[in-house]
Structure 1
Amino acid sequence: MIKEWATVISWQKGEALLSCDVKASCSSCASRAGCGSRILNKLGPQTNHTLSVACDTPLVAGQKVELGIAEGSLIGSALLVYMSPLVGLFVVSALFQALFGTNLAAICGALIGGVGGFLIAREFSLKFSRRETWQPVILSVALPPNALRVETTTSADSQ
């Protein structure tokens, strides 16, 4: 199970609207100064992802929840999204190269195959997204933001 914390935006009728922060791929690595991935993460937009998850427990805006998704569904969706355009690109490119014998035909076949693979991935991902095993679930719920209050006193207040 892959876990991530999210913040509740709203909860209505058993449906929680959650916001997940996008985290950089590396933030605690020892080689931060010379890391190309860290620089690329700084250049990109820092966005939040909003998703809707079924939840019977009433939630309060600002409350933290721990989400979980099965590894198998995450790996399956990654394979679908990345591999189908790639396979389409190579297969149709090779087919056009064999049929027409020119590099231009191979390039056109690669474009057609890549776009076709993307469209196939999009169609299958819509079907797979309806599966219950591919949906994130709420694993645990933190205290509401106003449930715990800590008071501190200074020495001047206690005299």
Structure 2
Amino acid sequence: MIKEWATVVSWENGEALLSCDVKASCNSCASRSGCGSRVLNKLGPQNTHTIAVSSAEPLVPGQKVELGIAESSLLGSALLVYMAPLAGLFIMAGLFQSLFASDLAAMSGALLGGVGGFLLARGWGEKLTRRNEWQPVIISVGLPPDALRVETSTPQDNR
């Protein structure tokens, strides 16, 4: 199970709205200055993602919760998103090349197959997200922000 901490934004009728911070893909690598991923992370906006998760336990805004998602669902969705357009691209390019015997036709087929694979993955992905095993779950709940109080005592109080 892949785990991540999130902050509660709101809770109503058994559904919690959670905010997850976007983390950069790398920060501690020795080759930070020449890393392409680090440069790409700086280009994009550093947002937070908001997701809705079912929770029978009442939650307070500002409370931290630990979310978990099964590795199989994450790997399955990544496979769908990356492989469906790639497979469509190669299949349609090969089909158009064999039917019309020209590079322009193969390029057109590749474009149509890639877009078609993307649309197929998008439609199929929407159906798969309705499955319970693909949904994130709350693993543990932290204390509400106002529940923890720290008191310090001076040495005179201990006598």
- TM-score category (smaller protein): over 0.9
The secondary structure found in structure 1 opposite 2:32 is: coil
User: 1:146 Cα shift?
Assistant: 1.1
Aligned pairs (5 A) from 1:80-99: 80-99=80-99
What do residues 29-56 of structure 1 show as CA deviations (whole Å, max 9, x unaligned)?
A: 2322332211221121101111100000
**1:149 corresponds to:** 149
Taking the aligned partners of 1:36 and 1:154, their CA distance within structure 2 comes to: 53
Aligned residues: 155
Residue segments in structure 1 that go unaligned for 5+ positions in a row: none
**2:9 corresponds to:** 9
Aligned pairs (5 A) from 1:25-40: 25-40=25-40
The secondary structure found in structure 2 opposite 1:66 is: strand
Taking the aligned partners of 2:151 and 2:71, their CA distance within structure 1 comes to: 42
Matched-pair identity in %: 72
Taking the aligned partners of 1:124 and 1:52, their CA distance within structure 2 comes to: 21
Taking the aligned partners of 1:87 and 1:34, their CA distance within structure 2 comes to: 32
Taking the aligned partners of 1:62 and 1:75, their CA distance within structure 2 comes to: 30
Note if 1:107 corresponds to 2:137. no
Taking the aligned partners of 2:118 and 2:45, their CA distance within structure 1 comes to: 24
The secondary structure found in structure 1 opposite 2:110 is: helix
Taking the aligned partners of 2:53 and 2:103, their CA distance within structure 1 comes to: 49
User: 1:152 Cα shift?
Assistant: 4.8
Note if 1:69 corresponds to 2:79. no
Cα gap change, 1:153/1:29 in structure 2, threshold over 3 Å: closer, same or farther?
A: farther
User: 1:151 Cα shift?
Assistant: 4.2
Q: Looking at secondary structure, tell me which structure has more helix per residue.
A: 2
Q: Return the letter of the residue paired with 1:129.
A: T
TM-score (norm 2): 0.93
Taking the aligned partners of 2:36 and 2:103, their CA distance within structure 1 comes to: 34
RMSD (Å), alpha carbons: 1.5
User: 1:150 Cα shift?
Assistant: 2.3
Q: Return the letter of the residue paired with 1:91.
A: I
The secondary structure found in structure 2 opposite 1:65 is: strand
**2:140 corresponds to:** 140
Q: Return the letter of the residue paired with 1:40.
A: L
Q: Return the letter of the residue paired with 1:44.
A: G
Q: Return the letter of the residue paired with 2:24.
A: A
Taking the aligned partners of 1:92 and 1:39, their CA distance within structure 2 comes to: 34
Note if 1:121 corresponds to 2:121. yes
Taking the aligned partners of 2:125 and 2:76, their CA distance within structure 1 comes to: 10
Taking the aligned partners of 2:115 and 2:36, their CA distance within structure 1 comes to: 29
User: 1:88 Cα shift?
Assistant: 0.1
The secondary structure found in structure 2 opposite 1:109 is: helix
What do residues 9-67 of structure 1 show as CA deviations (whole Å, max 9, x unaligned)?
A: 00001000001111000112232233221122112110111110000011000111000
